Amino acid sequence: MNLVVYVSDALRTDYVGCYGARRVNTKTIDELAASGARFDDALAAAPWTCPSTMSMITGLYPHHHHVLHWDAPVDPAMPTLFSVAAANGYTTGSFVFDENFLFKGVADANVAGTSETLDGVVAWLREHRDRPFVLWFHSWATHMPYDVDHAERKEWKAAKESIMGGIQSDSASALEALRESYAEAVERSSEHFLAGFLGELDALGLREDTALAFVADHGESWGERFADKQAVKGTYHMHGATLFEEVMQVPLILAAPGIEAGTVVREQVSLVDLTPTLLDFAGIPFDGTDGVSLAGGAPERDLWIVGTDAGRVSQLCVRRPPWKLLVHVESGEEEAYRLDTDPREQHSAPDNVPAELRDVLYEELGALEQPEVSDEDTAKVESRLADLGYL
Amino acid sequence: MSAAKRALIVGLDCAEPSLVLERWRDDLPVLSGLMERGVSGRLTSVIPPITVPAWSCMMASRTPGDLGVYGFRNRSDHTYDGKFIADSTKIHAPRLWDLIGREGGQSVVLGVPGTYPPKPLRGAMVSCFLTPGVDSPYTYPPALRDEIRDVVGEYMFDAHGFRSDDKDPLLAQIYEMTDKRFKLADHLAETRPWQLFAMVEMGTDRIHHGFWKYVDPEHRKYEPGNRFEKSIRDYYVHLDGLIGGLLRHADDDTLVLVVSDHGAKRLDGGIRVNEWLRREGLLALEGEPDGVTTPEKLGIDWSQTTAWGDGGYYARIFLNVEGREPNGTVPAADYERVRADLARRLEAIPDENGNPIPTKAYTPEELYEKPEGVPPDLIVIFGDLLWRSVATIGGDEGIHTFENDTGPDDANHAQDGMWIAAGAGVGARGTLDAHLLDIAPTVLELLGMPVPEDMRGRSRAAELAA
């Protein structure tokens, strides 16, 4: 059984047809969902790529895998999707948006190229079609600025600045234009990239022997949560600074032999479940992590969401529908939202939270081990984030 | 309708009822005012009556046996060197702020022993005197640390060298520490929402240990007319004023408690338990001590040892039991007999002149319903706490010592602390004695909150009622 993960960076659920979008053509994504299982309440473990992706490949929440910035050391003893599969005889490979970021320090990830076109991954598939493989394809087609390669640094920065300028201007038309270009990017991601990718899998006759996950590493926002739009200075403020649903909820679609077509899972699940689930399809045990295999359905449990800032945990959130309770680690300030009566998270009501849920949160907070981040590291963290437009 | 909406608890470590409630009552206008408006009395402590675990016992209404904490240092297992310091991570029972948090209430917790390292709570916490220093993470939330620096400069957890002979710097330190703590208390009470405000001042304990011999004519080292004769009284008067300042945050809906974890009394001397065990042939060493040392330093011949002890305000005696300790010598079948015999002999140790002293050797089972962790086999209170336990061996002294193994120490703990209750839910009811374990259920009931069934004390709210 081959294992394939297709990540569409910063893809919001409400821009995907099978999740309810009306004006965006995501036919390929929708068909994929119809052929397998759609998870209606899937949550990223962190609001930005680095810690979220590490949670996806380790099954550990960010405050347990401790990889909270691009240069954070990755514990070599920490099993990942790649290392466990490789140890079980799998060929492993990955295509990423920029080889200087993912998957640095991750053994067996075998970054084989970038995801800006499908050329590399198609060649890789053709080369490795005969042996069981793990393939990770992380596409930036849905990450702002849209339709500009990250490698074209000058152009890319200019496009990013123009988007930030639009948000800061707080003009409805600028925001509408931004959303429109995002919708176009989503269509392109679905109908060009994903369609081409799946087409190649089909052409090689690999689909029937592949467990495939289509997922986003986090959602996206356009500064709605900031009263002062001038404070929206970079991508970090679009996804990274807050843990609201538009940033945490992600599409998650699983298609694999044995999954009944049209399955819909309504219970909340976390992307820490991704690796345990995929390895389960391959018959490889992967225990002792925060995640569980979703192959047999989604168990009822609390989920965790972790915000980071400058390489440290800045917010810790426990989600137990209908409640979502978070604490800002430094200030102790709490936010709590009832997702059933206040799905847009407009009215924070920490006084109404069940006390037992707060106990659960504070227990986890009390056990929190913050990584050491020196001043030198902090400078490095910032420059790396600036490079990605986060700051 | 609850009787009180908020509770303000001012803990004074070691505050002695005979001083506050009687001898200096008229010198303490704020505290005597509270006594007149409310109730006051003795507050019997747990056994052992020591800061750790007593404050945690009070805040959780659980015995030392329930907590599995019998002092600062505890055995973690039955090996000879497995020990732990009882910090906050070892206190598993919910304390007042945990329980109030569960009801949605917020707390400010300042310097309550048993709170380092600080744990997250709904509210704010500044950890206790066991905090290594201001560079340690000592607050919840973490950002509070910077705020404290802005308010008081370098915060002080404890006065250092309180067993030193050089008394002037010690006195200055105690005042500085207390002033900073109350300044911070005032700031937190003002700026934070709270349903519970609980603080503990350590200065009272430190000044007793450091200055008791100057003020108690019955102390064997007392010198009439010495220049520290009024040191403790003056400190209490100073404290009274500081408490008065803090009370501006107590409105008509606030219950006010002033409590201590134990009292203080003069110290007549120390019983050197290990020296005694050695002379009785119950503790065998790997060599002859050359001067004063400890059994650990010299090495214990476990194969010939029946029992060993620990020092402190009381003695912890451990038996070396076959099948329990690594090199046990006391057959399990003989355990009760050996222990009962040892208890009788310990209780019979006289003072240095051969006069009997009222020593009590308890078994953990008779003190606690279900002792958790590794309790001592005997808990020995020498001479009604006029004597303390000293762990050293060797040297020129015999069983009795009049210099503490860690420097001069003028006072020991007394079994009874004190309490004053006033404000919301409390009438002018005069004197009412209580137990330390009664505090938490009383506070909860007055706040209209459920009292957990496993609390050991009982609510005194009905007796306080206005």
Tens-place pLDDT, residues A8-47: 999 999 999 999 999 999 999 999 999 999 999 999 999 9
Find chain B residues with C-beta within 8 A of A356's C-beta: 102
CB pairs under 8 A between A and B: 38
For residue A320, the distance in angstroms to the closest alpha carbon of chain B comes to 17
For testing contact with chain A, the best of B91, B108, B122 (most A CBs within 10 A): B122
Find, among B377, B402, B380, the residue nearest to B392 by Cα: B402
DSSP assigned state of A88: T
- Rg value, chain B, Cα: 22
Eight-state DSSP code of residue A45: S
Cβ burial of B167 (10 Å; 0-12, 13-18, 19+) is middle
- Judge whether A206 and A129 are in contact, CB under 8 Å: yes
**What does pTM read for this prediction?**
0.89
- B-chain residues near A335 (CB < 8 A): none
**Residues of chain B contacting A359 with CB distance shorter than 8 Å:** 101-102
β-strands B83-85, B107-110: how paired?
A: unpaired
- Residue B354's Cβ-count burial label (10 Å; 0-12, 13-18, 19+) is exposed
* CB-nearest partner of B142 from A330, A334, A361: A330
- The reported pLDDT for the residue numbered A82 is 98
Mean pLDDT across A370-383: 80
Q: What residue of A is the nearest CA neighbor of B98?
A: A359
Asked if B24 and B235 touch (Cβ cutoff 8 Å), the reply is no
Q: Is B119 in the A-facing interface, judged by CB distances under 8 Å? A: yes
Q: What are phi and psi of B220, to 5 degrees?
A: -65, -15
Rounded to an integer, what distance in angstroms lies between the CA atom of residue B305 and that of residue B286?
11
Q: Which long-range contacts (CB under 8 A, 24 or more apart) does A344-348 make?
A: A344/A245, A345/A244, A345/A245
| Contact between chains at B140 and A332 (C-beta distance less than 8 A) | yes
> A202: burial class by Cβ within 10 Å (0-12, 13-18, 19+)?
exposed
Alpha-carbon distance B103 to nearest alpha carbon in chain A (angstroms): 7
End-to-end CA distance of chain A: 41
Please indicate whether, in this complex, the C-beta atoms of A358 and B119 are within 8 angstroms of each other: no
Q: State yes or no: pLDDT of B163 exceeds 70.
A: no
Q: Are strands B6-12 and B254-259 parallel, antiparallel or unpaired?
A: parallel
The interface predicted TM-score (ipTM) is 0.81
Residue A386: pLDDT above 80?
Answer: no
Could you tell me the two tokens for A167? Answer: 């948000």
Tell me the residues of chain B between 135 and 194 that have a Cβ less than 8 Å away from chain A: 140-144
CB-based contact B120 A355, cutoff 8 Å? no
Q: Do the Cβ atoms of B141 and A331 come within 8 Å?
A: yes
Q: Give A-chain residues touching B142 at CB under 8 angstroms.
A: 329-330, 332
Helix (H, G, I), strand (E, B) or coil at B11: strand
Q: Phi and psi of A70, rounded to 5°?
A: -60, -25
Task: Name residue B42's beta-bridge partners.
Answer: B418
Q: Find the closest chain A residue to B105 by CA distance.
A: A351
| Residue labelled with tokens 């389960």 | A280
Peptide bond into B53 cis (omega under 30): yes
Contact B141 A351 (CB under 8 A): no
Structure tokens at B66: 């329930």
Is the Cβ–Cβ distance between A116 and A138 less than 8 Å? no
Which residues in chain B have their CB less than 8 angstroms from residue A358's CB?
101-102, 122
Dist CA B458 CA B441 (whole Å)? 6
Do the Cβ atoms of A115 and A96 come closer than 8 Å?
Answer: yes
What pLDDT shows up at residue B165? Answer: 75
As a residue count, chain A comes to: 391
Would you state the pLDDT for residue A149? 79
pLDDT greater than 70 at residue B186: yes
B462 at A interface, C-beta within 8 A: no
pLDDT category of residue A371 using cuts at 50, 70 and 90: confident
Interface probe with B: pick from A325, A356, A358, most Cβ of B within 10 Å: A358
Candidates B103, B119, B124; nearest CB to A355: B103
For the segment A168-182, what is each residue's pLDDT rounded down to a tens digit?
999 999 999 999 999
Strands (E), A97-239: 111-114, 133-139, 210-215
Is-contact B116 B130, C-beta < 8 A?
A: yes
pLDDT higher at A152 or B239: B239
At A266-293, the pLDDT tens digits run 999 999 999 999 999 999 999 999 999 9
Q: Sheet containing B360-362: which strands, arranged edge to edge?
A: B307-310, B315-319, B378-381, B360-362
Chain A nearest CA to B327, separation (Å): 37
> pLDDT above 90 covers what percent of chain A?
86
Least confident of A171-185, A374-388, B200-214: A374-388
Residue A376 pLDDT > 60: yes
- CA gap B1, A378 in Å, rounded: 53
Q: How far is A362 from chain B (nearest CA, A)?
A: 6
> Is the pLDDT at B150 greater than 60, yes or no?
yes
DSSP string, B317-341: EEE-BTTTSTT--B-GGGHHHHHHH
Q: What is the pLDDT of residues B5-51, one digit of tens each?
A: 999 999 999 999 999 999 999 999 999 999 999 999 999 999 999 99
Judge whether residue B311 has pLDDT over 90. no
Q: What is the 3-state secondary structure (H, E, C) of chain A?
A: CEEEEEEECCCCHHHCHHHCCCCCCCHHHHHHHHHCEEEEEEECCCCCHHHHHHHHHHCCCHHHHCCCCCCCCCCCCCCCHHHHHHHCCCEEEEEECCCCECECCCCCCCEEEECCCCHHHHHHHHHHCCCCEEEEEEECCCCCCCCCCCCCHHHHHHHHHHHHHHHHHCCHHHHHHHHHHHHHHHHHHHHHHHHHHHHHHHHCCCHHHEEEEEECCCCCCCCCCCCCHHHCCCHHHHCCCCCCHHHHEEEEEEECCCCCCCEEEEEEEEHHHHHHHHHHHCCCCCCCCCCCCCCCCCCCCCEEEEEEECCEEEEEEEEECCEEEEEECCCCCEEEEECCCCCCCCCCCHHHCCHHHHHHHHHHHHCCCCCCCCHHHHHHHHHHHHHCCCC
| Residue entry with tokens 């919001």 | A12
Cβ separation B102–A355 shorter than 8 A: yes
Spell out which chain A residues touch chain B, with contact meaning CB-CB distance below 8 angstroms.
327-334, 351, 355-356, 358-359, 361-362, 365-366
Q: In this structure, what DSSP letter does residue A71 have? A: T
pLDDT at B1 over 70: no
Name chain A contacts of B120, Cβ cutoff 8 Å: 327, 332, 361-362, 365-366
Closest-CA residue of chain A to B97 = A359
B104 contact residues in A (CB cutoff 8 A)? 351, 355
Q: How far apart are the first and last CA of chain B?
A: 14
- Check: CB of residue A136 under 8 Å from CB of residue A197: no
Per residue, the 3-state secondary structure of A203-237, as one string, reads HCCCHHHEEEEEECCCCCCCCCCCCCHHHCCCHHH
Residue with tokens 């979220």: A52
Q: What mean pLDDT value characterizes chain B? A: 94
Q: How confident is the model at residue B434 (pLDDT cuts 50, 70, 90)?
A: very high
Across the interface, whether the CB atoms of B101 and A366 are under 8 A apart is answered no
Which residue in A362, A363, A364, A370 has the most chain B C-beta atoms within 10 A of its own C-beta, making it the best mutation to test that interface? A362
Mean pLDDT of all residues in A146-154: 82
**How many Å apart are CA B355 and CA B400, to the nearest integer?**
13
Per 3-state DSSP, chain B is made up of helix, strand and coil in percentages (nearest 5) of 35, 20, 45
Question: B231-246 and B203-215 are packed helices; what angle lies between their axes, rounded to 10 degrees?
Answer: 150
The answer to whether residue B103 neighbours chain A at the CB level (below 8 Å) is yes
Sorting pLDDT into bands at 50, 70 and 90, what band is B162? Answer: low
Q: Do the Cβ atoms of B104 and A365 come within 8 Å?
A: no
Name all contacts of B334-341 with Cβ < 8 Å and 24+ positions apart.
B338/B306, B339/B363, B339/B377, B339/B378
Could you give the CA distance from residue A346 to residue A314 in angstroms, rounded to a whole number?
21
**H/E run at residue A42:** strand A37-43
- Going B87 to B88 to B91 to B95, the CA torsion angle's sign is positive
Give Cβ neighbours of residue B333 (< 8 Å, ≥ 6 apart). Answer: none
Counting DSSP H helices and E strands in chain A, the numbers are 13, 12
Question: Chain-centre distance of CA B377, in angstroms?
Answer: 21
User: Which chain A residue lies closest to B117 (C-alpha atoms)?
Assistant: A366
> Nearest residue of B to residue A359 by CA position?
B102
- Summarize pLDDT for A68-90 with one digit per residue, the tens: 999 999 999 999 999 999 999 99
Residue A370 DSSP code: P
Cα of A303 to nearest chain B Cα, Å: 19
